A = this chain, B = another copy of it.
Amino acid sequence: MDIKKNIDSIRNDFPILSTSVNGNKLVYLDNAATSQTPNCVIDSISDYYKNLNSNIHRGVHFLSQKATEIYEETRFKFKKHLNANSTKEIIFTSGTTHSINLVANGFNNSLKAGDEIIVSSLEHHSNIVPWQMLCEKTGATMKVIPMNQEGELNLNAYEDMLSKKTKIVFVNHVSNALGTVNPIKFIIDRAHSFSAKVLIDGAQAIPHFKVDVNDLNADFYVFSAHKFCGPTGVGILYAKQSILEDFPPYQGGGEMIDEVTFEKTTYADLPNKFEPGTPNIAGVIASGIALDYINGIGLDNIKKYEDELLSYATQKLKTINNLKIYGTSQNKTSVISFNIGDIHAYDIGSIIDNLGIAVRTGHHCAQPIMDYYNIPGTIRVSFCFYNNFDEIDKLVNALNRAVKMLS
């Protein structure tokens, strides 16, 4: 689908885009925080509760079977989309953060003092804190891949820090704060040559281009539905089957067990072992609809269109005096982090919000990046395929107005 030609009809799929904020039509440029939701996804949630709602997996009755079937079909959709080997490798969680914690917990027993784990300096807090907690428990230590001014990782430094002591490497596919696309295939490959496992945080990648976990040979790949037009409260964890089989269960509960007595409990097979309790059934099913929706538009088309938005916006923003962009890698998604002179990001964000323009200001849950640049935060605009060029013009006008007021 040619997005440029169909942009009006695509925008019509997203009811929130026609709401107004403070008397102005909403210009939503905070897509890296959460994406908006098309009618088909919203409707799938209503339809679920109107026609299907039922607890899954254990019921003999019609609704329960039907809901179970669709839930499991959704698992298959993600398996196929990611090119995983089996639906046993797809675990539904409540979000990227939950997925990462589940994986970190899996290393509780195998990691020990003297072991090393490697993180990149571009990570979201969700991909730092669970590992810090793991280090505290196990005595392992954390090394940090440094970055450069462009917001890219220093791969030589990475290669130097790899050793037989390295057990886990965790890096995001795309930085949420800067948009940098990291060379994860290389990173995974090098880590594997030292038998280290690699987790890729794909929260900012899945919405923007096609990902093939088999080709990447990632051990773990995690992301959230709410970032690719899906609902809140759903995460997806891809992990290699052999690893999941060795992992201890993360949480205990119903569904994840085979037999329970007070003396001894045996766990169910994959994927149930990692999905105790009643899952977010409506949310999972709606996530599958969201996946269908972006595949319907086509991720290649999305990438092409968003690249155009990115270059148009970058060029336009550069016309503003003293505007400095953080994250200038050649390979980046449609995210622009910037500051204007020494005006506080928060002042600008407040004023343009009043003009209906939603951007994010602050550290974007990536304080280490801010520390690197020695700034308290940035203004971040992040695009989705439903944004248009007109909205970029509005952004630039609003910024100019804010700068005038604040100088």
**9-residue interface stretch from A254-262, A297-305, A311-319, A399-407:** A254-262
Is the C-beta of A251 less than 8 angstroms from some C-beta in chain B? Answer: yes
Some 27 contacts from A to B, beta carbons below 8 A apart, are A19-B50, A19-B51, A22-B62, A30-B64, A33-B54, A33-B58, A37-B49, A41-B49, A42-B45, A42-B46, A53-B232, A58-B362, A60-B360, A95-B278, A95-B279, A96-B277, A97-B251, A98-B277, A121-B262, A124-B254, A129-B252, A129-B260, A130-B253, A224-B277, A232-B279, A233-B234, A233-B283
Q: A98 near B368 (CB under 8 angstroms)? A: no
Is the C-beta of A288 less than 8 angstroms from some C-beta in chain B? Answer: no
Measured CA separation A33–B61 after assembly (Å):
12
Is the C-beta of A132 less than 8 angstroms from some C-beta in chain B? Answer: yes
Q: B50 near A15 (CB under 8 angstroms)? A: yes
Q: Count chain B CB atoms within 10 A of each CB in A126, A265, A281 and give the residue with the most.
A: A126
**9-residue interface stretch from A154-162, A189-197, A332-340, A345-353:** A345-353
Q: A50 near B42 (CB under 8 angstroms)? A: yes
Q: B59 near A33 (CB under 8 angstroms)? A: yes
Nearest CB of B to A231, in Å: 6
Q: Can you list, as one digit per residue, whether each of A350-388 has a CB less than 8 Å from chain B (1) or not (0)? A: 100100111111100101100100000000000000000
- Category for how many chain A residues contact B: 35 or more
Secondary structure class of chain A's binding surface, majority of residues: mixed
Given contacts A26-B63, A60-B350, A358-B61, contact A251 B283 (CB under 8 A): no
Q: Report chain B residues within 8 Å CB of A61.
A: 21, 30, 349, 353, 357-360
Is the C-beta of A1 less than 8 angstroms from some C-beta in chain B? Answer: no
4 residue pairs, one from A and one from B, having the closest CB atoms: A97-B277, A233-B280, A129-B252, A97-B253
Among B60, B278, B353, contact of A353 (Cβ-Cβ < 8 Å): B60
Is the C-beta of A91 less than 8 angstroms from some C-beta in chain B? Answer: no
Given contacts A61-B359, A367-B259, contact A253 B126 (CB under 8 A): yes
Q: A30 near B42 (CB under 8 angstroms)? A: no
Q: A130 near B368 (CB under 8 angstroms)? A: no
Q: Report chain B residues within 8 Å CB of A259.
A: 367
Q: Count chain B CB atoms within 10 A of each CB in A30, A50, A52, A278 and give the residue with the most.
A: A278
Question: Which chain A residues numbered 186 to 234 have a C-beta less than 8 Å away from chain B?
Answer: 224, 226, 231-234
Among B21, B42, B128, B358, contact of A59 (Cβ-Cβ < 8 Å): B358
Q: A142 near B262 (CB under 8 angstroms)? A: yes
Q: Which residues of A contact B (CB under 8 A)?
A: 15-16, 19, 21-22, 26, 28, 30, 33-34, 36-37, 41-42, 45-46, 49-55, 58-64, 94-98, 100-101, 104, 119, 121, 124-126, 128-133, 142, 144, 224, 226, 231-234, 249, 251-257, 259-262, 265, 276-283, 346, 349-350, 353, 356-362, 365, 367-368, 371
Nearest B residue (CB) for A226: B278
Q: A126 near B254 (CB under 8 angstroms)? A: yes
Q: A360 near B21 (CB under 8 angstroms)? A: no
Q: B368 near A261 (CB under 8 angstroms)? A: yes
Measured CA separation A282–B58 after assembly (Å):
26
Among B50, B224, B254, contact of A278 (Cβ-Cβ < 8 Å): B224
Q: A233 near B353 (CB under 8 angstroms)? A: no
Nearest CB of B to A378, in Å: 13
Q: Report chain B residues within 8 Å CB of A346.
A: 60
Given contacts A125-B254, A129-B252, contact A53 B34 (CB under 8 A): yes
